[in-house]
Amino acid sequence: MTPSTEQQITAQVIERIAESTDPRLRRIMTSLISHLHQFVRDVELTEAEWFKAIDFLTRTGQKCSAERQEFILLSDVLGISMLVDAINHRQPQGVTETTVFGPFYSGEQPLHPDGASILKRAEPAPALIVEGAVRSSRGQPLGEALVEIWQVDANGLYDVQDAAMPKGHMRGSFRTRADGKFSLMTIAPVTYSIPTDGPVGELLNALGREAMRPAHIHFMISAPGHERLVTHIFTAGDPYLGNDAVFGVKRSLVRSPHRGRLEVDFVLKASGA
């Protein structure tokens, strides 16, 4: 029979998935349907608003490409990415905190020799030497750990956003030495805006929100027997540390470069710990 009340509509949709053979999918979809239906009732969504939402999501998908993930960006600005990160990475004390992955990782880059530069062209920005170490939560150095790094260039864009930029510019992969240490050359990171030329930018503008991210460098570190670490290192004193568009700043990840050098140590969580 056709449901006749608002509550009956929700109950009937949930009933249709009661026989799902995947219990995790059934749990997720039951909760999703319940919350979505309650949201529609709570705001009394109009048909015009519903069609506008469909159009927004359609255009969000159309904006996605091999170089850009507008849905990740949407997740970021709604704080969902950071919430998922927090739930999935409840780090024990002493382990480096995680933060958002972001929409501009473009895959593992060729390995650079220790101390090499990740620049593929000159940049009008101060040079920065990054020196760091990777160790376990027990303090043991993790040699041969893979350190992946990426950041915007001096104009606030990633290489995948700027056709004039050499591919792989401001990106690199490094292996730690036997003592767990690594070093590289880059430039001081800059404050920049997330992309605002798509649906996510329209949403931020409609909400009166900033689109800026504080200066930072992305790191992803992998070592056998340990959980992969995805994090940023932020620059102390940046005016947007308290108003990051994607809510990614954590106090423990803020550093102050000194005389063109940035020292960063990373502590990885053992797998299954």
User: Is the confidence at residue 86, as pLDDT, over 80?
Assistant: yes
d(CA 226, CA 126): 34
Residue 23 lies in a domain: yes
Instruction: Judge whether 112 and 184 are in contact, CB under 8 Å.
Output: yes
pLDDT digits (tens, 9 = 90+) for 22-64: 999 999 999 999 999 999 999 999 999 999 999 999 999 999 9
The DSSP string of the chain is: ----SHHHHHHHHHHHTTT-S-HHHHHHHHHHHHHHHHHHHHHT--HHHHHHHHHHHHHHHHH--SS--HHHHHHHHTTHHHHHHHHH--PPTTSPPP----S----PPPBPPTT-B--SS--SS-EEEEEEEEEETTS-B-TT-EEEEE---TTS--GGG-TTSPTTTTEEEEE--TTSEEEEEEE----EEPP-SSHHHHHHHHHT---EE-SEEEEEEE-TTB--EEEEEEETT-TTTTS-TT----GGGEE--BTTEEEEEEEEPBTT-
Which of 26, 45, 72 delimits the end of a domain? 72
What confidence category does residue 110 fall into, taking pLDDT thresholds of 50, 70 and 90?
Answer: very high
What confidence category does residue 238 fall into, taking pLDDT thresholds of 50, 70 and 90?
Answer: very high
pLDDT in the model for residue 83:
96
Side chain identity, residue 65: S
Q: How many domains does the chain have?
A: 2
pLDDT in the model for residue 4:
72
Which of 72, 87, 114 delimits the end of a domain? 72
| CATH at residue 194 | 2.60.130.10
pTM: 0.90
Looking at the fold, whether 59 and 95 belong to one and the same domain comes out as no
Q: What is the dihedral of CA 36, 37, 38, 41, to 10 degrees?
A: 120
d(CA 147, CA 170): 14
Looking at the fold, whether 55 and 125 belong to one and the same domain comes out as no
What confidence category does residue 92 fall into, taking pLDDT thresholds of 50, 70 and 90?
Answer: confident
Provide the domain limits for residue 39: 6-72
Instruction: Judge whether 233 and 147 are in contact, CB under 8 Å.
Output: no
Looking at the fold, whether 163 and 82 belong to one and the same domain comes out as yes
pLDDT in the model for residue 3:
60
Looking at the fold, whether 121 and 15 belong to one and the same domain comes out as no
Looking at the fold, whether 27 and 92 belong to one and the same domain comes out as no
Residue 47 lies in a domain: yes
pLDDT digits (tens, 9 = 90+) for 148-175: 999 999 999 999 999 999 999 999 999 9
Which of 17, 43, 72 delimits the end of a domain? 72
